Amino acid sequence: MVTLPETAVYAESLRKSFRGVHAVADVSFAIPTGTVCGMLGANGAGKTTTVRMLATLIRPDGGRAEIFGRDVVSQATAIRSLISLTGQYASLDEDLTAIENLELFGRLRGLNGRGARTRAGELVDRFGLAAAADRPITGFSGGMRRRIDLAASLITPPALLFLDEPTTGLDPTTRAQVWACVRDLVDEGTTVLLTTQYLDEADQLADSLVVVDAGRVIAEGTVDVLKDRVGARSLEVSVADPTRLDDAVAIVRARLGTEVVPSPEAARLSATLTDPGLSARIVTDLEAAGVVVAELAVRRPTLDEVFFAMTRQEPA
């Protein structure tokens, strides 16, 4: 592979409207070559529209973007040979078999007949679809379609792969298979921009995150930085004797001065902890009151909590 610039994606103030709807109002971010960027956002946040602009499928109304240093508007053709896109909705020929679909994509990508056949065979094996390879797509489940669709975008390994919600609607096993494929690709040097509504998916795969809301980037950074930005940690305490939970709640509330949420079925309570040093005091307080602690944990916010904290902020 030719040496690529250090920045795979650079977007500055991208905008796109559809008949007065500001699908993308102001999106700026960058992805270093060789990394995975997760773009998180609720339905209608502008993820697909951003990806389509970066993949040269639609023109931005304003702002600019470069893929490996090439402009998405004036150098679209050069960009197309470096990228691949797995769309949110699969684009397969229903009447053709899995192998035939992949061969077709291979030919479209410039492979000769034999090359396309060989590559199609390799990919059905890799995606666990060898047994179904000669069946028409019509009878495929959603998960099988997704895998064929992903395989199609890997016919010739791209330098940059756009994955638009690659695992929406997949069962956990198939999701894990897709994740493994993405990790393999990254190991081979592909840069990935992945959109997702699943926070755990971003947590699993992404080096950096861009959170979009109503067409704007509301947060950007590594997973760790975003978790830190939300700041507070959670304290979770399980008591050995469930009948003492109310006492424990009162003790923790008195020490922290914040809301404490009991989960009686689990004999557990949780609370926001702004000063981690207080957890030791709480243990002492509980011991003094004769409440036996079965388990105590201080944990960082989950990506879900980060996301909700960020999207609660009203855009300026």
Ligand X SMILES: Nc1ncnc2c1ncn2[C@@H]1O[C@H](COP(=O)(O)OP(=O)(O)OP(=O)(O)O)[C@@H](O)[C@H]1O
* Contact residues: ligand X, CB under 6 A: 18-19, 21, 23, 41, 43-49, 88, 197
| Binding partner at 97 among ligand X, Mg ion, none, C-beta below 5 to 8 Å by kind | none
Check binding of 48 to Mg ion (CB under 5 A). Answer: yes
Q: How many residues does the chain have?
A: 316
Question: Minimum Å distance from CB 45 to Mg ion?
Answer: 8
| Binding partner at 153 among ligand X, Mg ion, none, C-beta below 5 to 8 Å by kind | none
Question: Minimum Å distance from CB 75 to ligand X?
Answer: 23
**What is the full DSSP assignment across 21-53?**
EEEEEEEEEEEETT-EEEEE--TTSSHHHHHHH
Question: Minimum Å distance from CB 278 to ligand X?
Answer: 40
Check binding of 49 to Mg ion (CB under 5 A). Answer: no
Give the nearer residue to ligand X in terms of CB position, either 20 or 139.
20
Instruction: Scan for tokens 């995150």, then name that residue.
Output: 209
Closest C-alpha to 217, from 2, 41, 20, 81 = 41
Question: Minimum Å distance from CB 20 to ligand X?
Answer: 9
The secondary structure element, H or E, covering residue 16 is: strand 7-18
Q: Which residues contact 200 (CB under 8 A, 6 or more apart)?
A: 303
Closest C-alpha to 192, from 173, 166, 211 = 166
Pairing state between β 260-263 and 70-71: unpaired
Instruction: Scan for tokens 């197309």, then name that residue.
Output: 80
Beta bridge partners of 193: 37, 162
Give the nearer residue to ligand X in terms of CB position, either 46 or 106.
46
Token pair belonging to 10: 């650079």
Give the nearer residue to ligand X in terms of CB position, either 88 or 156.
88
| Binding partner at 3 among ligand X, Mg ion, none, C-beta below 5 to 8 Å by kind | none
Question: Minimum Å distance from CB 17 to ligand X?
Answer: 8
Question: Minimum Å distance from CB 143 to ligand X?
Answer: 19
Token pair belonging to 120: 């199609």
Residue at shortest CB range from Mg ion: 48
- Gap between the Cα atoms of 19 and 232, Å rounded: 42
Question: Minimum Å distance from CB 164 to Mg ion?
Answer: 6
What does the per-residue mask of binding to Mg ion show for 66-95, with x meaning CB under 5 A?
----------------------x-------
Give the nearer residue to Mg ion in terms of CB position, either 24 or 132.
24
Give the nearer residue to ligand X in terms of CB position, either 209 or 278.
209
- Gap between the Cα atoms of 65 and 54, Å rounded: 7
> Angle, to 10 degrees, between the axis of helix 142-152 and the axis of helix 172-187?
10
Give the nearer residue to ligand X in terms of CB position, either 144 or 210.
210
Contact footprint for Mg ion (CB under 5 A) = 47-48, 88
